[in-house]
Amino acid sequence: MIALENISGPEVLHNCSIKDLEHLACQLRTKIINTVSETGGHLAPSLGVVELTLALHSTFHSPRDKIIWDVGHQSYAHKLITGRRENFQYLRQYGGLSGFPKRQESPHDVFDTGHSSTSISAALGMALARDLSKEQYEVIAVIGDGALTGGMAFEALNHAGHLGTHLLVILNDNEMSIASNVGALSAYLSRIRTEPVYSKGKEELESILRKLPSIGDKVFRVADRVKDSLKYLVVPGMLFEELGFTYLGPIDGHNIAIMKKVLERAKRTKGPVLIHVVTKKGKGYKPAELNPNLFHGVGPFDITTGDVLKKPSSPSYTEVFGRKMVELGQRWDKLVAITAAMPNGTGLNYFAEKFPDRFFDVGIAEQHAVTLGAGLAVSGFKPVVAIYSTFLQRAFDQVLHDVCMQNLPVLFAVDRAGLVGEDGETHQGIFDLSFLRPIPNLKIMAPKDEHELDKMLEYGLTLNSPVVIRYPRGTGLGALKLQNWQELEEGKSEIIREGKDIVIFAVGPVVYDCLQAAELLAQKKIQATVVNVRFVKPLDEETIISLAGRAGAVVTVEEHVMAGGFGSAVQEILGRAGLTVKLMQIGLPDEFITQGDVSLLRKKYGLDAEGIYAKIMKYWQEVKKVKAAL
């Protein structure tokens, strides 16, 4: 029997028997479970496609043949058999393997993924490039049934069917079961529709019917309509057939032998082909099979029990948001909640359970989610669209055109704003301020802690305009209600600490890091004012100009890229006011931020208390030199 340790690349699989591949599938599952139990990761999706991965790599010749994994949640087995087994223990760790396909990591990763519904578009582009270059290779997109709810996937299917370009789309369906009789019938229909004899028979029948005197064309049209009607009754993939694809399936996605036969048949079929495989999410690990949502993306866990190891002492921002939505839903019957396939991830599962009629999960369709909210708002409802920062990028035009241009009261609860850690470049929520800030009518808030998030959500729903509240991933700070709590007022900041030398304007939870940095500065006889900005738009211009003019040294701190972010907004205000104050921006550089523990990344980029202190000390020395020169 072949051992995983002896797999240096996918070419080895071409000489394996079906029994060898089945034995290898067990080894892959063990390796994935053991590793993810320590690193965390997308366990259930990857366990569900182990056999599919082996069938693909033992049938096709990667990297000559191109395999694109939509989203990439399911790519762990692919990584293990394409030369990355020894580094797999560093999955999703800083300096280690990405949790998603990454071109710079391996030639077998032909396209970077991380957001859903992109694979078919990319595959079609590669297939067209192949044909234009007169080359010979296969292009295969592997897309899940969830990702297929994204409109971009259907745009690509429509275009591929229109062009008739040969490519393969594997639809990985992990929601429905498969009955043996349905599978047998589908396999039979798939075979007769793709065999050359069947195609030739159709052509000959058409030729004979059309030659009938006077009535040939009419008879053919009637026969054709009857044929299509029967196909609609017995063929499960007629939607794809109408889009121009040859549909094969559904087939058992855990039966390697059957999959290999269908894949070989698909290679011989002209034009675009869609192969429908049915898999079980979490296959081979009982806790993941029973609770695939929990194990879709999970932290380190105990293999024996399936229990997550790190249990936070404080509630997460997501949980605070979710429970506050239930409280507000009880008070306001016009409150509705919208998510794009992330009820648990956004905390709206609580609201969905309590108010199912006022909860809408639109699937992976962020653009639709935003404009759905606009439609509800224009009809007198109070919609809250809960969405991750990185996914809000996909609906920029809808935010601008459908919500803000009409000044509709849609509230965007933007979760995972800032560094998110192990999911890396594709998921860091570090661009939202830059693309949201220029939009008229939009108000943007950022809470310093979970208590302020609670207050901002309630306050934001009273504003008759579009509102964004951005907050980070992870647990809150355990913040208690402050005795000197300052009520929210539109466009007004909160001065938390007074100092005469430097003023620090901070956005979000980094306010607390800035307070710690101010304590360190005080030990050096440097007194800093710390301001919790609260509103990134509209900014508290009066306070900014007043404090900047008095201190003469200004620092902005944000867990966001500096280009076009909060610091840039402050710079604009100072420039308009004619203040020649030297501004120091502390934030993230002009680059995509890799995966790694959030605390490690904050330290690397100087966004923890010590890093902020060190940068301000360097800046202070420059300020003193300028003052001395004057």
Residues of the chain with CATH 3.40.50.970: 4-290, 317-470
Tokens read off for 66: 């191109």
pLDDT band at 185 (very low <50, low <70, confident <90, very high): very low
Question: Directed axis angle between helix 151-163 and helix 119-132, to 10°?
Answer: 30
Q: DSSP for 242-263?
A: HTTPEEEEEEETT-HHHHHHHH
Q: In this predicted structure, what is the pLDDT of residue 486?
A: 87
- Amino acid 68 reads I
Residues written for the chain: 630
pLDDT over 90, % of the chain: 80
Tokens read off for 284: 């081979």
Q: Which of 50, 71, 78, 158 is nearest to 341 (CA)?
A: 71
289-321 residue pLDDT tens: 999 988 998 999 999 999 888 777 789 999 999
Q: Is the pLDDT of residue 40 over 90?
A: yes
Q: In this predicted structure, what is the pLDDT of residue 214?
A: 59
Q: In this predicted structure, what is the pLDDT of residue 58?
A: 97
CA-to-CA distance for 409 and 250, rounded, in angstroms? 44
Mean pLDDT (the chain) is: 90
Options 3.40.50.970, 3.40.50.2300, 3.90.1150.10, 3.40.50.1820; which CATH number does 317-470 get?
3.40.50.970
pLDDT band at 482 (very low <50, low <70, confident <90, very high): low
pLDDT band at 273 (very low <50, low <70, confident <90, very high): very high
pLDDT band at 180 (very low <50, low <70, confident <90, very high): very low
Q: In this predicted structure, what is the pLDDT of residue 110?
A: 97
Q: Is the pLDDT of residue 65 over 50?
A: yes
β-pairing verdict for 528-532 and 502-506: parallel
500-545 residue pLDDT tens: 999 999 999 999 999 999 999 999 999 999 999 999 999 999 999 9
Residues annotated as part of the active site: 281, 366, 394
Tokens read off for 51: 């056999």
Q: Is the pLDDT of residue 94 over 90?
A: yes
Q: DSSP for 329-398?
A: HHH-TTEEEEESS-HHHHTTHHHHHH-GGGEEE--S-HHHHHHHHHHHHHTT-EEEEEEEHHHHGGGHHI
538-572 residue pLDDT tens: 999 999 999 999 888 999 999 999 999 999 999 99
60 secondary structure, DSSP code: S
Cα separations (Å) of 81 from 11, 61, 186, 264, 276? Answer: 9, 13, 31, 21, 23
Question: pTM for the full model?
Answer: 0.89
Question: Directed axis angle between helix 256-268 and helix 180-194, to 10°?
Answer: 20
CA-to-CA distance for 256 and 258, rounded, in angstroms? 6
381-424 residue pLDDT tens: 999 999 999 999 999 999 999 999 999 999 999 999 999 999 99
Cis ω on the peptide bond leading into residue 63 (within 30° of 0)? Answer: yes
Q: 494-629, which class in CATH? A: alpha beta
Q: Is the pLDDT of residue 174 over 90?
A: no
DSSP3 helix / strand / coil % (the chain, rounded to 5):
45, 15, 35
Q: In this predicted structure, what is the pLDDT of residue 480?
A: 58
202-260 residue pLDDT tens: 555 556 556 666 566 655 565 555 555 545 444 567 788 889 999 998 899 999 999 99
CA-to-CA distance for 151 and 159, rounded, in angstroms? 13
What average pLDDT does this structure show over 14-35?
A: 96
Cα separations (Å) of 569 from 535, 584, 585? Answer: 12, 13, 11
Cα 6 vs. chain centroid, distance in angstroms?
A: 34
CB 204 within 8 A of CB 119: no
Cis ω on the peptide bond leading into residue 538 (within 30° of 0)? Answer: yes
CATH superfamily, with its number, for domain 4-290? Thiamin diphosphate (ThDP)-binding fold, Pyr/PP domains (3.40.50.970)
